[in-house]
Amino acid sequence: MAKPKRRYVCQACGSVANRWQGQCADCGEWNSLAEEAPQTVFSAKHDLSSGGRAIAFEPLNAPGESLARRTTGLAEFDRALGGGLVPGSAILMGGDPGIGKSTLLLQAAAHIAQAGNEAVYVSGEEAAGQVRLRAERLGLSSAPIRLAAATSVRDILTTLGGMDAPRLLVIDSIQTMHSDQIEGAPGTVSQVRGCAFELIRYAKENGVALVLIGHVTKDGAIAGPRVLEHMVDVVMSFEGERSHQYRILRSLKNRFGPVDEIGVFAMAGQGLEEVANPSMLFLSGRDDPVAGSAVFPAVEGTRPVLVEIQALIVRLASGATPRRAVVGWDSGRLAMLLAVLEARCGLNFSSAEVYLNVAGGYRLADPAADLAVAAALVSALSDKPLPAKAVWFGEISLAGEIRPVAHATIRQRESAKLGFDIAYGPPGGAIGESGMHYNEVQMLPNLVDRILS
Ligand code: TYD
Ligand code: MG
């Protein structure tokens, strides 16, 4: 057997190096490498092709197995999950600190317990008293949740082994858990991975729906190893601006359902409230149009959400490097759009600061937002307001063409329902919706001409 090698594991991304470095070669994080216990290295002669047990092959259409989904008690949570909790599944819930992950899971656990099912909430971050205070504020003190403050996975699994399997097990958070079988402090890659592995195994063997709450790094990835995302069945992120009320629950990976459905909540004094009809939430509700504002009919999954996109252009007097700041949209995409507007339409943004904001703290993921962003930018640059009752959708190519996007029908129906009567979009997008006047935009220069004329 070869001598075990030292290994250094990046605590941010989980990549392994053979020697210590100040910066991770994979993810570029500084001071993130930590030495971990060496793994046994087997020689190439080690033969695994005999001596094992034979495994049985199974048919794909095994009878008697249907996905029994169980409600979380929160319809918006169920919707984002694709219909509810699947027994024996593991869900990783990420989100910025203070966004409301603990609140959401405490509410779900309480609803499940109130419906007469077992729900276990293990807090590794807060003392039981703190969780109790929160439950009191939420008006859920009487829910018969099994609450514990613990961080030892061995203690947790021993306890769970001695009782009936709960319907829901919440671990808040996976970064605080530790196992005495594994070296390293809680939160290190090997601890997080090892603890998650044991908890997921328990969940699978006992048909328990497991939710692991996970911390998020500054750039939005779930802290610790990416491998955690591979180990679980569902990865969800809870998003929103802390200064705003609205929260979006999105699934980024789902082995049991679609990934584009969202759940919408509002953080209120009594915890998270469900928002069943979100389409108006992200409009500013202003009557007189202002320059730089365009309404985009977004579609998330099957759900239309109208959002307002705001652009502000500030001309700089001299050669200082202009700023580009984006809230709620992709900054790379904005740079691309500005380049297309310059190259194809002859507009000049190079000596101006550009600010782009999606109203209401919403984060846009729908690629059809390009046209609305372009309209807001051109309107801001020319200081000309766009028509008050207009919506804009379409994807823009590098050549400046407006390309077709999915869900033209849902977008226009919802816009018409909310009182908008003009839609600008890609060729072929007209649906003949009564009361909606559709304007085809072929190329970006056509759009600029329309706005400036
Ligand atoms: P929390 O669930 O602790 O966030 P996370 O677990 O994601 O870190 O949410 C904390 C925030 O939510 C806190 O800043 C206060 C706010 N909040 C309310 O506004 N109303 C409430 O009823 C509760 C419980 C929290
Ligand atoms: Mg928390």
One-character DSSP codes across 195-252: HHHHHHHHHHHHT-EEEEEE-B-TTSSBSS-THHHHHSSEEEEEE--TTSSEEEEEEE
The tokens for 97 are 């600190």
Q: Who has greater pLDDT, 2 or 95?
A: 95
- pLDDT of 52 > 90? The answer is no
Looking at every residue in the chain, the average pLDDT score rounds to 88
- 146 near 169, Cβ under 8 Å? no
Q: Which atom of ligand 1 is nearest to the CA of 101?
A: 7
- 72 near 84, Cβ under 8 Å? yes
What is the C-alpha to C-alpha distance for residues 100 and 368, in angstroms, rounded to an integer? 29
Least confident of 280-284, 330-334, 388-392: 280-284
| β-sheet bridge partners, residue 395 | 403
Distance 257 CA to ligand 2 centre (A): 26
Distance 446 CA to ligand 1 centre (A): 47
Q: Which atom of ligand 1 is nearest to the CA of 270?
A: 22
pLDDT at 365: 82
What is the C-alpha to C-alpha distance for residues 170 and 156, in angstroms, rounded to an integer? 11
What is the C-alpha to C-alpha distance for residues 66 and 40, in angstroms, rounded to an integer? 41
**Three-state secondary structure call for residue 280:** helix
What is the C-alpha to C-alpha distance for residues 447 and 242, in angstroms, rounded to an integer? 35
Q: Who has greater pLDDT, 375 or 351?
A: 375
Q: Which atom of ligand 1 is nearest to the CA of 125?
A: 6
Residue having the nearest C-alpha atom to atom 23 of ligand 1: 271
- pLDDT of 47 > 60? The answer is yes
Ligand 1 and 357: CB distance under 6 A: no
Q: Which atom of ligand 1 is nearest to the CA of 213?
A: 6
- pLDDT of 397 > 90? The answer is yes
- pLDDT of 326 > 60? The answer is yes
- 103 near 109, Cβ under 8 Å? no
pLDDT at 4: 63
Output the pTM of the full model.
0.80
pLDDT at 187: 81
Distance 102 CA to ligand 1 centre (A): 7
What is the C-alpha to C-alpha distance for residues 16 and 327, in angstroms, rounded to an integer? 34
What is the C-alpha to C-alpha distance for residues 123 and 361, in angstroms, rounded to an integer? 29
Ligand 1 and 140: CB distance under 6 A: no
Ligand 1 and 101: CB distance under 6 A: yes
- pLDDT of 75 > 90? The answer is yes
Which band of pLDDT confidence, cut at 50, 70 and 90, is reported for residue 239? confident
- How many alpha carbons fall within 13 Å on the CB side of residue 23? 5
Ligand 1 and 175: CB distance under 6 A: no
Mean pLDDT of 418-445: 90
What is the C-alpha to C-alpha distance for residues 306 and 329, in angstroms, rounded to an integer? 15
Query: Above pLDDT 90, what percent of the chain?
Result: 57
Q: What is the pLDDT of residues 175-219, one digit of tens each?
A: 999 999 888 888 888 889 899 999 999 999 999 999 999 987 656
- pLDDT of 374 > 70? The answer is yes
pLDDT at 224: 58
pLDDT at 406: 92
Spatial neighbors of 260 by CB under 8 A, at least 6 apart, are 300, 301
Which band of pLDDT confidence, cut at 50, 70 and 90, is reported for residue 286? low
- pLDDT of 359 > 90? The answer is no
Which ligand has the minimum distance to the alpha carbon of residue 103? 1
- pLDDT of 104 > 80? The answer is yes
The tokens for 410 are 């849902």
Q: What is the pLDDT of residues 150-170, one digit of tens each?
A: 999 999 999 999 999 999 999
**Three-state secondary structure call for residue 378:** helix
Mean pLDDT of 72-101: 93
Mean pLDDT of 386-415: 93
Which band of pLDDT confidence, cut at 50, 70 and 90, is reported for residue 339? very high
pLDDT at 103: 95
Ligand 1 and 138: CB distance under 6 A: yes
Distance 100 CA to ligand 1 centre (A): 5
Mean pLDDT of 279-308: 84
pLDDT at 144: 95
- pLDDT of 43 > 70? The answer is no
Residue having the nearest C-alpha atom to atom 2 of ligand 1: 100
- pLDDT of 225 > 60? The answer is no
Which of the listed residues 74, 103, 175 should we mutate to test ligand 1's pocket, taking the one with most ligand atoms within 8 A of CB? Answer: 103
- 351 near 394, Cβ under 8 Å? no
